[in-house]
Amino acid sequence: MSIFEKCKTGLEAAAAHEQGQGPADASALTLAEVQETFREVAEDLGIETERDVVDLVKEVRAERAREKSE
């Protein structure tokens, strides 16, 4: 399941919960589900530290620069 699909599923679940809960409860549920999705993606990418994030950003920027120069 893609990140988009996981986020969409979380938002749909929150909308369903809104009928029986207050907006703050639904928002908290949605946030928790989105955070879990990001954790899973980070784990899949091998991201464990801030340094890993910095390295990933540098790699993506370098790749985009190469693509622009082609």
Tens of pLDDT, residues 19-61: 556 666 777 778 888 888 888 888 988 999 999 999 999 999 9
What is the pLDDT confidence band of residue 62, given thresholds at 50, 70 and 90? Answer: very high
Indicate whether 18 pLDDT > 60.
no
**pTM > 0.75:** no
For residue 1, the Cα-to-chain-centroid distance in whole angstroms is 12
CB environment 11-50: b (16+ within 10 A), e (fewer): eeebeebeeeeeeeebeebbeebbeebeeeeeeeeebeee
The token pair at 66 is 């190469």
What is the pLDDT confidence band of residue 11, given thresholds at 50, 70 and 90? Answer: low
Higher pLDDT, 12 or 39: 39
Q: How far apart, in whole angstroms, are the C-alpha atoms of residue 41 and residue 63?
A: 20
DSSP state of 19: T
